[in-house]
Structure 1
Amino acid sequence: MKVTPAQLTELLTLYVPKRLPVLITGRPGIGKSDIVEQVAHATDHELLISHPVVEDPTDSKGLPFPAPDGLNAKFLPFGDLERAMKARRPLIWFLDDLGQASPAVQAAKMQLLLARRIGEHVLPPHVTFLAATNRRTDNAGVTGILDPVISRFATVVELEATIDGWTKWAVRNNVPPELIAFLRFRPDLLSVQKTSRDIENTPSPRSWGFVAKTMGVVPKHLGHISHAGSVGEGAATELVSFLQIYRELPNPDALLATPDKAMIPQTPSTLYAIATALAARATEANFDRVVTYTERMIEAGHREFAALLVRDALERTPEIANSYAFIRAQGGEIGAIIKGG
């Protein structure tokens, strides 16, 4: 069953407190680990991340240690198993890239997942298992997961990247507005299935995250090279072309200086750019000017872009909701936008 990032977050927030294990599948780099981390924080759980692909089957059982009589041995827990057994607070034990692990390592996890014990070692009741894996078609070294292992999860879901989910994350994490505007313009480039075995990156939320981190660091003449290394040459070429449009736009501050007269773009690429740039500059103090410009966008027939502007502004600067301009605007078209109408 495919789920959006928002749906997965809500689902895990319900399952984790009930100690129900969940297996998350999906393409590489679409945010599976990030969502688990967010859920751990939201539910006040500690997070223990294990990578079964680098484990030995005996790691799950413990290290044999001779008893004082020298005739017997006990398996002493160590590493992640020891930490989970000693957990005093609620803990999410996250098995990342489970599908890349050998069948022997997967089999060693079965008793832990269902019986919550292995041998004489019993896990505390406040430990919850989550796991993630790429799919067999993702060229990620996944050969499959044993059916008995799959059946030990309360539910199995496939995470699918969406531009709405990524945008909300991007706004909260101060991703450059021009990159947000570009991916809104070309949402099909957010996550692209790799079709070759060449050593190159393809677009994914993770690789676009690297682009976001380097955009303000790499000089313009190296931008195409840098971005191509992160998301592939085709996507990088389109981004560079879009950035040229973005940089030639009127200064957003100038638009806000005369919002009743400033130009209203007509092409989708320019509208995405303007809406995202203005949202990044919106504050409680200048939101009356933002409202004036947004109302003119609606009158010009660009209601969708006006909605993007207002919602981004609120996501980025929640204090805007306290402004007189925001309160006044809720009685009109902008109010309908805020309510999702």
Structure 2
Amino acid sequence: MNAPASPVATRPTVNPSQLIELLTAYVPAQLPVLITGSPGIGKSDIVEQVAHATEHDLLISHPVVEDPTDSKGLPFPSKDGMTAAHLPFGDLERAVNSDKPLIWFLDDLGQASPAVQAAKMQLLLARRVGTHALPPHVTFVAATNRRTDNAGVTGILDPVISRFATVVELQPSVNDWTEWAVRNDVPVELIAFLRFRPDLLSVPKRGRDIENSPSPRSWGFVGKTMPVVARGLELLSYSGTVGGAAAAEFMSFLGIYRQLPSPDSILLNPDTAPIPENTSALYAVTAALAAYSNEGNFDRVLTYTDRIISGGGREFGALLVRDALRRTATLANTDAFVRAQGGEIGKIIQGN
């Protein structure tokens, strides 16, 4: 008789929206959370966003460069020299003496030495070090890469893991990334490309060579460099940011994007302007029109959008209108949008 298979331990996975929702519930309740995931997928940014949303101050510590005394305080002798007390300093002193709600974020915890991790245990569970107690309004959140990420992680001590109320693994989502990108004025052609190739948003690095790989963070750097890099240097620049294969695909997409008609030419005749049949070109056109939309031309944008939807491009119509509204919320008050609410555009916005 075969022995039963051993259960495989798995961490629950969350996308960025779910992690924000979870932290927004846990942090005000002073419940510590440990977030795992590959490098560059937005763990730190999400914690910062939650701190702002929950009106907490944010204290960021990097245990990988700490000594155990950072978590215990320095021993200081009394005047008679017969006793000593540990005096907090640095981040510990700030947390102990804080008087407002505070997220104490332990970033890259898995890269810290076992001695430093062990020094954190008393803070995480007993919430005190020596005679110094943490105020109740201090909440711990920690993040770490995984051992498979080639990020110098050897693991986290089991007693440290057990101090967290929950452990979750963050997985990037192209929908969450593009929502962030629209709000932060990332070039529309990059947004369109990653919608077309969502599998390239985050690609695990397999080797140990000194090179970058695609991640939400590295694509964010591409967005920042696009306005300043000369066309003759684009492939070289982007290859150094996301790797040669992803950069080559992005350059091919840019070639298509740059040959498309301009938003101006489309909106001059929205009733007759051609609608691309190629999927990548459709992503490019809808992203460009969303960025170009304003209160003066939104009626023509919606006319063209209706034609896209009627031709079977319901998903593209939804992306166009939603991106336009994210960029310029006042478009929802235009007569054209109010009228469109009763038709197919209204249905796709409502998710029907």
* TM-score (ref. length: structure 2): 0.96
Deviations 1:134-155 (A, max 9, x none): 0110000001111111111011
Q: Which runs of 5+ in 2 are unaligned?
A: 1-11
- Other-structure match for 2:251: 240
1:154 is aligned to 2:155: no
One of 223, 229, 247 as aligned partner of 1:218: 229
One of 261, 264, 268 as aligned partner of 2:275: 264
Of residues 111-120 and 209-218 in structure 1, the stretch that sits farther from structure 2 once superposed is: 111-120
Q: Tell me by how many angstroms 1:230 deviates.
A: 0.2
Report 1:86-235 matches (<5 A): 86-235=97-246
- Other-structure match for 1:11: 22
**Aligned sequence identity (%):** 73
Whether the 8 Å CA contact 1:218–1:226 is kept in 2: the answer is yes
* TM-score (ref. length: structure 1): 0.99
One of 95, 98, 101 as aligned partner of 1:84: 95
Whether the 8 Å CA contact 1:285–1:323 is kept in 2: the answer is no
Report 1:248-327 matches (<5 A): 248-327=259-338
Q: Tell me by how many angstroms 1:318 deviates.
A: 0.9
Aligned-partner Cα distance in 2 for 1:37–1:283: 31
Aligned-partner Cα distance in 2 for 1:268–1:292: 20
Aligned-partner Cα distance in 1 for 2:89–2:253: 52
In structure 2, the residue corresponding to 1:213 is in which secondary structure? helix
Q: Which runs of 5+ in 1 are unaligned?
A: none
Q: Tell me by how many angstroms 1:284 deviates.
A: 2.3
Deviations 1:219-268 (A, max 9, x none): 00000000000000000001111101111110112212221111100010
Deviations 1:69-88 (A, max 9, x none): 12221111000000001111
In structure 1, the residue corresponding to 2:35 is in which secondary structure? strand
Deviations 1:249-308 (A, max 9, x none): 101122122211111000100000000000001112221111100000011111111111
Aligned-partner Cα distance in 2 for 1:131–1:317: 35
- Other-structure match for 1:32: 43
Aligned-partner Cα distance in 1 for 2:107–2:213: 21
Deviations 1:129-181 (A, max 9, x none): 00000011000000111111111101100000010010000000000000000
In structure 2, the residue corresponding to 1:331 is in which secondary structure? coil
1:72 is aligned to 2:87: no
> How many corresponding residue pairs?
341
Q: Tell me by how many angstroms 1:118 deviates.
A: 1.4
Of residues 265-274 and 55-64 in structure 1, the stretch that sits farther from structure 2 once superposed is: 55-64
Aligned-partner Cα distance in 2 for 1:294–1:216: 28
- Other-structure match for 2:6: none
The residue identity in structure 2 corresponding to 1:87 is S
Whether the 8 Å CA contact 1:92–1:130 is kept in 2: the answer is yes
The residue identity in structure 1 corresponding to 2:325 is L
Aligned-partner Cα distance in 2 for 1:185–1:39: 29
Q: CA RMSD in A?
A: 0.7
Q: Tell me by how many angstroms 1:183 deviates.
A: 0.5
Aligned-partner Cα distance in 1 for 2:42–2:36: 11
- Other-structure match for 2:9: none
Runs of 4+ in 1 over 2 A off after TM superposition: none
Of residues 31-40 and 246-255 in structure 1, the stretch that sits farther from structure 2 once superposed is: 246-255
